[in-house]
Structure 1
Amino acid sequence: MSMVIINLLIAQFLSAFADNAILFATLAIVNAGNHPAWYLGVVQGAFFVAYILLAPFVGTFADSWPKSRVLIVGNAVKALGTAAMFLSVDPVIAYAIVGVGAVIYSPAKYGLLPELAGKGQALVRANGWMEGTTILAILAGAVGGGILAAQSIPLALGICMGAYLVSAILAFLLPKGLVIADGMTLASAKKFLHDGWTVVRSEAKVPLMGAGVFWGTSAALRLAVIAWIPLVFGITEVDKISAIVACAGIGVAIGAALAPRLAPLPSRARWAAIPLGLVAMVLPLSASIPMALLILIAFGAAGGIFLVPMNAAIQEIGVESVGVGQTIAILNLIDNVAMLMGAALYTGASALGVAPGVSIAMAGLFPLGYVVWTIRQFPRKQSEQSL
């Protein structure tokens, strides 16, 4: 692996660490404010809405500016949202600003990979490292954010801002990247909608929908598990809850490392959605914390095997069609619509009094439904040959 990719991975780790640490700092703020249980879903929903509203613009933005510089802008906006939270701005607004930074950051992050790593198995391996790094950052951010927030919310927010700053400095040291678009206009937004329609009708629709199913399921599951842990195990401390939730991240890192060997193509990786769904459905049956931890790790491992080949296929198709930045922006739109739906379904169920354990089990139906969809979408021989 080249040093420039290592530099990108470190920058990504720091930015993703802060993204997830700030979530648990936000949870501590929400708990301290005596908000209802469903309010955290509203806060997270604001983050997803930022992605959805800006999706028509950020792909072209990432392709019309050097991608390393786009990473700097994204980190700066996320730091601004963190500062807003530090200044006691409502968590919904502050976290939405962080979401704006994240939606700017993401297409450039993935857009640099094909430029730095090339195509084929090299790109799959680079995606495996990127996903593994991201998940380790999610793990570290969840645990670290919970521990820091339990000690001091301002300390947690300050460390998040520092991580964004160092990530921006590392991004400045990266190659600028290709510029393949003219600029960001209303015409570019119309082009995004046209390109989006083109991509979802192409061979990319299977991995695009697969990625959306994974993130939508994960969004609902994370919120439900955060509410389920205190009810079942009597654990109310934010740092302990964050450590338990983060175990899924360990599994995803394992799965991401195994994906290039076990499931290099989406036609094979899609079957990992079966254990992904089944494991989620048995989680509420956990009789002990160790059992719950093992199930969360298994869920994450299935998710890593499932997700990495999907992302690699999407990027390759993007390079050869509408541009990788535009394709990743389309992917982000689909992912965040799915996550908003997952968060909204959980929030609505919670407001209606549905038990968190039931919500967890129901989330497992989405990956199983995806497998059924892929079977119905393509004949067996065609699905094994495609992608």
Structure 2
Amino acid sequence: MFADPGYRRLWSARTVSQWGDTFNFVALALLIYDLTGSGLGVSGVVVAEILPVLLLAPFAGPLVDRWPRVRVMVGSDLFRLVLAVVLAVWHDAPVGVYAVAFGMSVGAVFFNPAASSIIPALVEKDALVAANSGIWTAAVLSQIALAPLAGLLVVSLGYGPAFALNAVSYAISALLLRGLQVPGNPEKVQRRNLLAEAREGVAVLMRHRLLRALAIGQCLAALSAGATSALLVVLAKEHLGVSGRGYGLLIGAIGVGAALGPLVLLRLIRNPARPLFVFGPYGLRGVVDLAIASVASVPFAAGALALYGIGTSTGAVTFNSMLQGETPEHVCGRVFALMDVLWQGGRLLSLAVGGILADVYGIEAVYYLGGALLLAAAAAGLASNRGAATV
């Protein structure tokens, strides 16, 4: 994969940007907690990041399909570069921080579908899993390695340098992407109004049996993971009886599993771009949720969550690869944007319902329901594909 100069340039840009994102994520969470002193204030950042996806993605998708995708990515990086500089200089008011978080997400609404749509033009279809694995692994390893360093930087030098590093990462990413040459001649989109073009993306998604199954799985997984990921700290305290280091151990276990997942795919499994390896990981994650809600053991939970991390990473890589391989090129931006809407909308609903469910029935109920939703996603995906031909 890395012998291809186009993929190498894209991978480098995405990886450098991920380095900056890691510093930004850690610094932003610590900053808003310092400014507001509440978990609700931290949740506000999550809401500020989700809202642009729900509001703008239906329109961003058609625009990504209209415009040159490399220019969309460069423009998004430059837009976020300006916002990161603002945050590095001025970060004393919660309202301003929320506004910048909202703006950063606006940039990502355009960047992410464009970046995912470009990969099939850079590599052959049978190399999509390897290409996505390379980008995913670099992102996970960046988080594992740099998150502690980001926390140390904030404590030692303050928030400004962390946000400044994020700005630098966007500048480097934009420079790398500017020289990216995408082969082929994409189909020209018949320009109508944006709503009509957005409806065309929905129609493609609904008519194609496998894409429809992927959308259903995405929605059910978001309804599960939104609550279970956010409330893992509650499970650690109330069900497992640990906090601090114990919670860190659980997070670390997921990270280790997520880093190992792509290696499992590429080294041990032949032809991983099959429905079994897209929908099967949902089932694995569902079993883990049910198990850790039933067994109050920290070592058991850590081992199970490592498997959860493997399921998350292998599922994400094969999901994106199959989506890229099956989606018609001229609607890639719209389909990826719709998947983002399903994910973020389900995540937001899950966060709201999960918090209520945990307070009324206990944290175990959240994980039992989350596990059931993931098992339903696996069953629905595998059943819909059984004996199906691509439409």
TM-score after normalising by structure 2:
0.83
Deviations 1:219-244 (A, max 9, x none): 333321245556743329xxx97785
Change (3 A) 1:150 1:366: farther
Corresponding residue of 1:269: 278
Cα pair 1:318 1:326 within 8 Å, conserved:
no
- Is the counterpart of residue 323 in structure 1 residue 328 in structure 2? no
Write out aligned runs for 1:162-177 (5 A): 162-175=168-181
Corresponding residue of 2:104: 98
Cα pair 1:139 1:247 within 8 Å, conserved:
no
- Is the counterpart of residue 110 in structure 1 residue 112 in structure 2? no
Partners in 1 of 2:252 and 2:81 — Cα distance?
Answer: 23
Deviations 1:288-344 (A, max 9, x none): 4x6554333221101222222221121122235x43222222222222222222333
Corresponding residue of 1:338: 346
Measured after TM superposition, the shift of residue 70 of structure 1 is: 1.6
369, 376, 379: which one pairs with 1:369? Answer: 376
Measured after TM superposition, the shift of residue 15 of structure 1 is: 1.9
308, 326, 340: which one pairs with 1:299? Answer: 308
Deviations 1:85-127 (A, max 9, x none): 44235243221111111111101211111111022x1122212
Quick one: percent identity of the two aligned structures?
18
Deviations 1:124-154 (A, max 9, x none): 2212223323333343454444443344322
Change (3 A) 1:8 1:93: same
Measured after TM superposition, the shift of residue 349 of structure 1 is: 4.7
Counterpart secondary structure, 1:33: helix
Change (3 A) 1:158 1:345: farther
Cα pair 1:18 1:160 within 8 Å, conserved:
yes
Change (3 A) 1:339 1:112: same
Partners in 2 of 1:191 and 1:23 — Cα distance?
Answer: 34
Measured after TM superposition, the shift of residue 265 of structure 1 is: 0.7
Cα pair 2:257 2:309 within 8 Å, conserved:
yes
Deviations 1:181-235 (A, max 9, x none): 469x871332112321331332211123334444554433332124555674332
Partners in 1 of 2:155 and 2:368 — Cα distance?
Answer: 29
208, 229, 252: which one pairs with 2:258? Answer: 252
- Is the counterpart of residue 56 in structure 1 residue 63 in structure 2? no
Larger radius of gyration: 2
Partners in 2 of 1:255 and 1:156 — Cα distance?
Answer: 29
Counterpart secondary structure, 1:382: coil
Partners in 1 of 2:297 and 2:145 — Cα distance?
Answer: 26
AA of the residue aligned to 1:110: S
Counterpart secondary structure, 1:73: helix
- Is the counterpart of residue 22 in structure 1 residue 27 in structure 2? no
**Worse overlay, 45-54 or 129-138:** 129-138
**Worse overlay, 154-163 or 97-106:** 154-163
Unaligned runs of 5+ in 2: none
Which of structure 1's runs of 4+ aligned residues deviate more than 6 A? 240-243
AA of the residue aligned to 1:22: N
Cα pair 2:19 2:146 within 8 Å, conserved:
yes
Counterpart secondary structure, 1:128: helix
**Worse overlay, 130-139 or 301-310:** 130-139
**Worse overlay, 97-106 or 136-145:** 136-145
Counterpart secondary structure, 2:387: helix
Cα pair 1:252 1:304 within 8 Å, conserved:
yes
Corresponding residue of 1:8: 10
Write out aligned runs for 1:1-387 (5 A): 1=1, 2-86=4-88, 87-88=90-91, 89=93, 90=95, 91-119=97-125, 121-140=126-145, 142-151=147-156, 152-175=158-181, 180-181=187-188, 187-203=193-209, 204-226=211-233, 228=235, 232-235=241-244, 245=251, 247-259=253-265, 261=269, 263-283=272-292, 285=295, 287-288=297-298, 292-319=301-328, 322-349=330-357, 352=359, 358-374=365-381, 377=384, 381-382=386-387
Cα pair 2:72 2:110 within 8 Å, conserved:
yes
Counterpart secondary structure, 1:323: helix
Change (3 A) 1:66 1:226: farther
Change (3 A) 1:116 1:377: closer
Measured after TM superposition, the shift of residue 376 of structure 1 is: 5.6
Deviations 1:28-56 (A, max 9, x none): 12321344334433321221111121112
Cα RMSD, aligned residues only? 3.2
